[in-house]
Amino acid sequence: MADGHRKYPVNRTVMHHAVSDDMVNWADIKVQDWFSVVGKSRGYKNGALRSYHNHPSRSVETYAMAHFCLHRYTKDKNKYGWRLTPLIKDVWNNVTWHASNWPINQQSIGIETAGNYVNKRLDEKALMLVADTFRFKDKQLKGKFWINGHKDFAATACPGQIYGQLPILIDMINNPTKWNKKLFPAPKPKPTPKPTPKPKPTPANPLIEKLTKENEDLKKKIVEMDVEISGDNKTIEALKIRISALEKKLKQQGENAGIPKDTTDKINESHSILKKIWDVFKRMLNK
C-alpha cells in the first residue's frame, strides 16, 4: 500500500543513528516492532495520527519513522556482518518522517543505524552494505543519487561520527572494486606442502651381496637334486636349521651401514655349511 505522498525520483538516502541498543543479531520482527513502538510515541501521538504504512512482518499498521535499520547481524554468515532490515513495506513508494524536512522526506530513503555513534565510527563493512544496496539507484539516476546525514536538514548531531564517513560511503558507491579488494580480499592460496623426502637406502655392500648370491645358488642346487641320503638325513636337517638361524641373523644385521666382524664370520660359516651339504650330494652322485 502506498501512502500517496511520494515524489519521484527517489534520489537520496539520509543516514541517522538511533541512539539505541546496538541490536546485534536481533530478528527482523524484533527490530521492526521496536521502531514501531518508538515512532508511535514520538511522531504519531501514541496512535492518534495514522501512518498508513504496513508492518513488514505483521498484518498491522507500523509507526516506524525510517525505511531501514542498519544493525550488526552475523547469524546468516553474510560477508558484511551487518543487515539492512526494512521497517515498512514498499519502501520506495512510501514516505517516512525522518529528515525533519517534508520535501526531503518525500524523495528520500531514511536509514537508522542501531546504536549510538556520537563517540565511535561505523564499521566500513556496514557502509559497504549500504553502498551495494543503493548503487543500482545511483546508476539509474546517472550518478545523481545523493548521500546525506540528518544534520544536513536539521539542527541535530545525528548521525554522530557517521557523518564524517559519508565521503567514504560515496566512494564505495563509485568504486566498488577498490573497496571489495580492501574489505573482502581473496584468500591467499595455501602453500603446497613439500613432499617428505624418502630415506636414502643403505648402500649395498659387495661382500654381503657376493656371499648371499653364492648361498642362494647352493641352496637352489641342493633343492633341485632332491636326493635322499640314507643315514645322513638327520645331519642334513640339523645343518639346515643352523643355516636358517644364521640367515635370520644375517637379515637383521645386514641393514647396518658397515659389516661387523661377527656378521662376516656368520656369513662365512653359513657359506661353509652350504658347501659341506653340496659336497655330500656330489659324493653321492659319484658313487
Sorted by sequence, the CB contacts under 8 Å of residue 287 that are 6+ apart come out as: none
Which residues is 61 bridged to in the sheet? 54
Give the CA angle between residues 29, 30, 34 to the nearest 5°.
Answer: 115
Strands (E) across the chain are located at: 12-17, 68-72, 82-86, 108-113, 146-149
Each residue's pLDDT tens digit, 72-128: 999 999 999 999 999 999 999 999 999 999 999 999 999 999 999 999 999 999 999
Give the separation between CA 127 and CA 108, rounded to whole angstroms: 18
Each residue's pLDDT tens digit, 181-238: 999 998 888 888 888 888 776 666 676 677 677 667 766 766 665 554 444 556 666 6
Give the separation between CA 104 and CA 90, rounded to whole angstroms: 18
pTM of the model: 0.67
